[in-house]
A = this chain, B = another copy of it.
Amino acid sequence: MIIVKVGGSVFSDKRGEPENFKGEVVRSIARELASFYPGEDFIVVHGGGSFGHPEAKRYGIREGLPEDPATADFRRMGFTLTHEAMLRANARFIDAFVRKGLPAFSVSTSSVFITENGEVAYGDLEVLKRLLELKFIPVLFGDVSIDLSKGIDILSGDQIITYLARMLEPDKVIFLMDVDGIYDGRPGEGKLIQNLPREGIPALLERLNCTAAGTDVTGGICNKLREAEKIAEHSEVWFVNGKVRGRLSGAIRGDGFGTRIV
């Protein structure tokens, strides 16, 4: 089984119009997956892009549910509106996948997972496992979450994948990004790292200045690398460009262009 993460920046421009969606990119991803299905099982997890991020920020979801009733009311509304925005992104994915003949099935992240400190504290994977057995392709997404300490929070697609990798032990986890992989420095400046041993990640995190929080609500590349370090305990990890046709297929086959963590 292979888990594919479609980063928000692959299918959407966060700085563009609200809820913009690169349909041709997602259809191309679906086409590549279709050429391996049903021989290979997949779980797809997508990010928020221009759908979830603006709402999550506007309502300050990450700050949790406060005591003050007026602020709490405001946050509750933001919580539900952020989820609805993510469902709209998800519906676009399902539509693109179905058009390519893939039985993608929407699983609502917030219905299944409970978080604590931004990580999954509890997750019920019964439905997910059975969907896989029945040859569906479950499609999850970064979403709002009920949180044990803050009341409410955001659960990023990357965190979902860390949890799924630990529980389901996939053969491979593939992160689709809008760059060619992990760079030793800023993308476009540093050199692309094609083979990254898991033990090399802590030193890389330091070189990339990952001690401070990133600008992305979900932590960006630093967070990705930290999660990749955990995931690589259980499975091979790939970072490839999701906007360049064929890169996903290369990672599925195992001979692709991008960053491979072993």
A residues sitting closer than 8 Å to B (CB atoms) are: 65, 72-73, 76-77, 79-81, 83-84, 87-88, 91, 94-95, 98, 101, 103-108, 110-112, 114, 122, 124, 126-127, 130-131, 134-136, 146, 151-152
Contact = CB atoms under 8 A, between A and B. Distances in A.
Chain A interface mostly helix, strand, loop or mixed? helix
Copies of this protein chain in the complex: 2
Given A76-B136, A126-B124, A146-B134, A106 B104 contact: no
A103 to B, nearest CB: 4
B94 A84 contact: yes
Contact of A108 (B108, B122, B136): B108
Contacts of A87: 87, 91, 106
Contacts of A104: 80
B127 A98 contact: no
B107 A134 contact: no
B84 A111 contact: no
13 contacts: A73-B101, A76-B134, A79-B105, A80-B94, A80-B103, A80-B105, A83-B105, A87-B91, A108-B111, A114-B126, A114-B127, A122-B126, A134-B146
Contacts of A107: 108, 110-111
